[in-house]
């Protein structure tokens, strides 16, 4: 899960960073003004946003949330503010946030709130899935892939390799294989770069599961499957191996 934060107070910048990292989510950035936040949001498409209300610039956090309603209405919003005035709360309420936290707050408060929002958001996605929504997605350390009438969970650490086929991309684990509608490059961007590498226009492999490497034939074996390393990807592949040595 990717999180983007709008916050201009150093103490809360540090606390947000600590908690998001502790939860194992990806912190895209913490910015201190609304215009920059919206620019980064459009470029990165985060899964969750934390918004302070009073920040630098012409737009406050509620103005930002109002714009997010038209840009990405399904993105969960958590407001974090020191303002408890009823009129500010009513303005924020109109943007349909998932939560509203007042400062000062404890580490535990924010951690529990994020976890509950993630759980609520996942439930919303599952409801959309039941209604015919077909988009695959990544949440924290797993892919959720639509298979029939359910979402199949594939833990990233269990993936042996990924193969692009005609209309689908197939994720292989030791126990199963699941076809996704996401493109190979889209999937690659969501994988930890330290663990996965593209070796061919059709294949991404998990370096932890590479069983043997045939440099003469430009071929590797993963999960009992022999996969070719393309000439285009050979240099990058060898460089990664040297770094692991």
Residue 87 and residue 42 in one domain: yes
Residue 142 and residue 110 in one domain: no
Q: Residue 55 is encoded by which pair of tokens?
A: 């920040």
Looking at 129, 159, 191, the residue that finishes a domain is 129
Residue 10 and residue 120 in one domain: yes
Q: How far apart are CA 33 and CA 21, in angstroms?
A: 22
Question: Is the pLDDT assigned to residue 188 strictly greater than 70?
Answer: yes
Residue 43 and residue 102 in one domain: yes
Question: Is the pLDDT assigned to residue 130 strictly greater than 70?
Answer: no
What percent of the chain stands above pLDDT 70? 92
Q: How far apart are CA 172 and CA 160, in angstroms?
A: 6
Residue 163 and residue 114 in one domain: no
Q: From the CB of residue 218, how many other CB atoms can be counted at a distance below 10 Å?
A: 17
Q: Residue 66 is encoded by which pair of tokens?
A: 């109002």
Residue 6 and residue 119 in one domain: yes
Q: How far apart are CA 104 and CA 121, in angstroms?
A: 25
Residue 100 and residue 151 in one domain: no
Residue 106 and residue 143 in one domain: no
* 85-110 pLDDT tens trace: 999 999 999 999 999 999 888 888 88
Looking at 129, 152, 179, the residue that finishes a domain is 129
Closest CA to 31 of 75, 1, 61: 61
Q: How many helices (H) and strands (E) does the chain have?
A: 7, 16
- SS3 assignment, position 109: helix
Residue 104 and residue 205 in one domain: no
Q: How far apart are CA 173 and CA 143, in angstroms?
A: 12
Determine if residue 224 is left, alpha or beta; phi over 0 gives left, psi from -120 to 50 gives alpha, anything else beta: left
* 191-231 pLDDT tens trace: 888 889 999 999 999 999 999 988 788 899 998 999 999 98
Q: How far apart are CA 222 and CA 122, in angstroms?
A: 32
- Concatenated DSSP letters of 182-216: S-HHHHHHTS-TTTEEEEETTEEEEGGGEEEEETT
Residue 88 and residue 160 in one domain: no
**Beta bridge partner(s), residue 227:** 220
What percent of the chain stands above pLDDT 90? 44
pTM of the model: 0.55
Residue 141 and residue 162 in one domain: yes
- In this prediction, residue 70 has a pLDDT band, given cuts at 50, 70 and 90, of confident
- The DSSP code for 58 is S
- SS3 assignment, position 50: strand
Looking at 99, 129, 159, the residue that finishes a domain is 129
Residue 78 and residue 119 in one domain: yes
Q: 207: domain CATH number? A: 2.40.50.1020
Question: Is the pLDDT assigned to residue 137 strictly greater than 80?
Answer: no
Q: 90: domain CATH number? A: 3.40.50.2300
pLDDT confidence of residue 51: 95
Q: Residue 65 is encoded by which pair of tokens?
A: 């949330």
Query: In which domain, by residue range, is 100 found?
Result: 2-129
The total number of structural domains that make up the chain: 2
Question: Is the pLDDT assigned to residue 180 strictly greater than 80?
Answer: yes
């Amino acid at each position: 899960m990717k999180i983007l934060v709008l916050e201009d107070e150093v103490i809360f910048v540090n606390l947000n960073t600590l908690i998001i990292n502790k939860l194992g989510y990806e912190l895209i950035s913490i910015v201190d003004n609304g215009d920059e936040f919206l620019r980064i949001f459009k470029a990165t498409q985060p899964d969750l946003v934390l918004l302070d209300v009073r920040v630098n610039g012409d737009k406050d956090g509620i103005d930002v949330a109002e714009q997010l309603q038209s840009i990405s209405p399904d993105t969960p919003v958590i407001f974090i503010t020191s303002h408890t005035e009823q009129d500010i709360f009513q303005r924020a309420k109109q943007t349909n946030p998932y939560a509203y936290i007042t400062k000062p707050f404890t580490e535990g408060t924010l951690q529990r709130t994020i976890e509950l929002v993630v759980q609520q958001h996942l439930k919303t996605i599952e409801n959309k899935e039941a209604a015919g929504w077909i988009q695959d997605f990544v949440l924290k350390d797993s892919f959720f892939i639509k298979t029939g009438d359910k979402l199949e969970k594939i833990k990233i650490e269990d993936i042996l390799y990924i193969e692009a086929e005609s209309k689908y991309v197939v994720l292989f684990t030791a126990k199963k294989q699941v076809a996704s509608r996401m493109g190979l490059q889209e999937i690659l961007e969501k994988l930890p770069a330290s663990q996965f590498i593209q070796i061919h226009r059709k294949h991404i492999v998990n370096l932890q599961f590479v069983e043997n490497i045939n440099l003469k034939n430009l071929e590797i074996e993963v999960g009992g499957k022999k996969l070719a390393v393309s000439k285009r990807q050979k240099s990058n592949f060898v460089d990664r191996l040297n770094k692991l040595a």
